[in-house]
Amino acid sequence: MSWKKSTELMDTIRHYANFPATGVSLRQMVQFGERPSVGTLFRASQFMSEELPIRLAHRVQELQELPDGLGDMPSIGRVRDWYAQSFEEITTLPKPTLSSEIRERLLKPQNGKNSRILSEATRNPSVHQGQYRSQLHHNNDNAERKNSLKRYYSAGDDTNEWPPELNDYNTRFSKTLEKIKRRHDSVVTTVAQGILEYKRKRQRMQIDHNIQAFLDRFYMSRIGIRMLIGQHIALTDQRAHSDPNYVGIICTKTNVRDLAQEAIENARFVCEDHYGLFDAPKVQLVCNPDLNFMYVPGHLSHMLFETLKNSLRAVVETHGQDKEDFPVTKVVVAEGKEDITIKISDEGGGIPRSAIPLVWTYMYTTVDQTPTLDPDFNKSDFKAPMAGFGYGLPISRLYARYFGGDLKLISMEGYGTDVYLHLNRLSSSSEPLQ
Ligand SMILES: Nc1ncnc2c1ncn2[C@@H]1O[C@H](COP(=O)(O)OP(=O)(O)OP(=O)(O)O)[C@@H](O)[C@H]1O
């Protein structure tokens, strides 16, 4: 365990954990990322090389201070090591030596016609203040941090007359991020494994409120870190710029109907496969074909697929696998000024009212046997074939809230369930880290 050896590293981590994370909005990410120059990417790398260690440091500290011996579980230790190692890799990456002229140019946003003013990030409407913030004490040094965010975005120049050291550094930085992203691929499964170890050791049936709140914060933070990293890698990789509707991994014209249709097909396919059905229960989609908005298609696909899978499973299990004609699940997409709302209504028998709070807890599932968690299985994402880990709903709700949306569930026991997926289309709300 390398991080244990180095008290120096732990001191640096403790120092970084004193600073609060700086939340970024979807719109800010897009404003920044349109046609980035070498200089712009370099500024972004600088922002990231401060911001990511802060976010990683919070996680290391929190993983160290977990209640009730949870932090002693071997899988939790592994995850903590990954976070510490990634922290170290970013903070020790050598920076180029730059002339004072270049340093000044980098600091000063250009005031010419190309300069862009960054829109303000608004408060995330889906969370109350501090809900996902790390519980650690922050010192109050926020002003300088805010400025570094401004520098990140006040990139006005689109000239490419920068010294080659900048480009070299950008490439090295992006490569480091790629490695880190890969290292953290199996964090969700490994933490889940840690929770199982804890439940077994402590003979707990459910996790308590503190651990639930920790997992919410932890996974929310992970979504944010991976969003920033994914966006930065995609922007650095010039080959990724071929589709004009994409800025990094954000699609400015995400077509809701196409994505919903694809999620329906995937969920039905998985359902047929799992239950050995010739034809999965049908899903009817009502959606304006021209409805486009700015979003991360990967996030939306994930949320739709998870909720549809739940509905199809409930329908098959309530009506029996031998049934010829299942009731149709309806997906209705409504277009408001503030939100796009997607309602998924099934006739899968609903959920008893007493179990509703449980569906939002991690590891709650009505699948009898939780599949064994092999950390090497399906590293890139946490997708169980049909169901079984009890992560689908809570993680989907975090994705929705991350960009100012929400996920709600209303059930009529004995009939069916309605899931409302609200997607905020104003795109101005900050990541829920404040
Ligand atoms: N549409 C629905 N109808 C009835 N029950 C549902 C519905 N959606 C969710 N549930 C209940 O909530 C539980 C938790 O759902 P969740 O999606 O979080 O996990 P899961 O589907 O069991 O496992 P996975 O992690 O693979 O998604 C399910 O096991 C099921 O009992």
Whose CA is closest to 373, among 189, 203, 197, 187?
189
Q: How far is ligand 1, taken at its centre, from the CA of residue 148, in Å?
A: 42
For residues 430 and 316, give the distance between their C-alpha atoms in angstroms, rounded to a whole number: 39
Contact 229, 181 (CB under 8 A): yes
Asked which of 39-43, 139-143, 227-231, 297-301 is least confident by mean pLDDT, the reply is 139-143
For residues 346 and 283, give the distance between their C-alpha atoms in angstroms, rounded to a whole number: 9
Q: How far is ligand 1, taken at its centre, from the CA of residue 360, in Å?
A: 9
Q: How far is ligand 1, taken at its centre, from the CA of residue 409, in Å?
A: 11
For residues 115 and 154, give the distance between their C-alpha atoms in angstroms, rounded to a whole number: 7
pLDDT of residue 310: 96
| Average pLDDT score over residue span 49-64 | 95
Q: In testing the pocket of ligand 1, which one of 359, 391, 415 has its CB within 8 Å of the most ligand atoms?
A: 359
CA atoms within 13 A on the CB side of 79: 29
Tell me which residue has its CA closest to atom 19 in ligand 1: 390
Contact 395, 375 (CB under 8 A): no
ipTM: 0.96
For residues 399 and 401, give the distance between their C-alpha atoms in angstroms, rounded to a whole number: 6
Q: How far is ligand 1, taken at its centre, from the CA of residue 309, in Å?
A: 8
Residue 129 has pLDDT above 70, yes or no: yes
Q: Hey, CA dihedral for 271, 318, 304, 196, is it positive or negative?
A: negative
Angle subtended at Cα 90 by Cα 150 and Cα 97, rounded to the nearest 5 degrees: 70
Residues of the chain with CATH 1.20.140.20: 7-243
Contact 156, 110 (CB under 8 A): yes
Pick among 3.90.470.10, 3.40.1390.10, 1.20.140.20, 3.40.50.300: CATH of 7-243: 1.20.140.20
* Token duo for residue 232: 């930065």
Residues of the chain with CATH 3.30.565.10: 250-424
Cα–Cα distances in angstroms (integers) from residue 416 to residues 51, 271, 307, 396, 432, in the given order: 44, 18, 13, 20, 32
Q: Does CATH place domain 250-424 in 3.30.565.10?
A: yes
pLDDT of residue 387: 55
Contact 4, 88 (CB under 8 A): no
Q: What percent of the chain has pLDDT over 90?
A: 57
Please tell me the chain's helix, strand, coil percentages from 3-state DSSP, rounded to the nearest 5.
50, 10, 35
Q: How far is ligand 1, taken at its centre, from the CA of residue 7, in Å?
A: 43
Q: Which residues line the pocket of ligand 1, CB cutoff 6 A?
A: 306, 310-311, 314, 346, 348, 351, 359, 364-367, 384, 387-393, 417
The separation between CA 246 and the C-alpha centre of its own chain, rounded to angstroms, equals 18
Q: What percent of the chain has pLDDT over 70?
A: 84
Q: What is the mean pLDDT of the chain?
A: 85
Tell me which residue has its CA closest to atom 26 in ligand 1: 387
Residue 387 region, left (φ>0) first, then alpha (ψ -120 to 50), else beta? beta
**Chain segment 138-169, per-residue pLDDT in tens:** 554 554 555 555 555 544 555 667 888 888 99
**Chain segment 10-38, per-residue pLDDT in tens:** 999 999 999 999 888 888 888 777 778 88
For residues 214 and 35, give the distance between their C-alpha atoms in angstroms, rounded to a whole number: 38
pLDDT of residue 127: 79
pLDDT of residue 237: 85
Whose CA is closest to 61, among 288, 151, 1, 53?
53
Q: pLDDT confidence of 240, banded at 50, 70, 90?
A: low
User: Higher pLDDT residue, 420 or 31?
Assistant: 420
Q: How far is ligand 1, taken at its centre, from the CA of residue 9, in Å?
A: 41
For residues 87 and 184, give the distance between their C-alpha atoms in angstroms, rounded to a whole number: 12
pTM of the predicted protein model: 0.89
Tell me which residue has its CA closest to atom 20 in ligand 1: 390
Cβ neighbors of 47 (< 8 A, separation 6 or more) are 148, 149, 151, 152
What does the CA dihedral 140, 133, 193, 174 come to, rounded to 10 degrees? -70
